[in-house]
Amino acid sequence: MVAIGNRILKIDSMKAGKGETFSAEEPLKCSIDKLIDGVHLVGKHDGNVTELSMCQWMKSRLASASADGTVCICLSPCLILLLCLVFHLILKLFYQ
């Protein structure tokens, strides 16, 4: 799993770019509009994803948080949305 901008992608390293060699100088290239075999769009936030976490002993859960104040918890491998929390910021202005 990897977060790029506001999207969460699942990359199967056995399928993506099969038969090719990749490095820091020549990375795997893939357009978000036309994903290659082995790369799947699994989630999207309104803001940039700031945190992405998967528990080591319970790999069936994926949690993501974004700059828009949303936290989502999904059930893997199908990535069914279990819970989505949206936090609201309330500003109070006090005039003296």
- Give pLDDT tens digits for 18-61: 877 778 888 888 888 899 888 988 888 889 999 999 877 777 78
What are phi and psi for residue 24, nearest 5 degrees? -65, -35
Q: Which residue's entry shows tokens 């790999």?
A: 59
Residue 95 predicted with pLDDT over 80: no
Q: What are the structural domain ranges in the chain?
A: 2-86
What is residue 35's DSSP assignment? P
* CA 92 to chain centroid: 33
Closest residue by Cα to residue 3 from 35, 69, 51, 61: 51
Q: What is the mean pLDDT of residues 52-74?
A: 85
Specify whether the CB–CB gap between 51 and 65 falls below 8 A. Answer: yes
> Parallel, antiparallel, or unpaired: how do β-strands 7-11 and 39-44 relate?
antiparallel
The pLDDT score that the predictor gives to residue 50 is 94
SS3 93: coil
Residue 63 is which amino acid? A
Q: Which has more confidence, 4 or 80?
A: 4
Q: What tokens appear for 27 in the block?
A: 């990375």
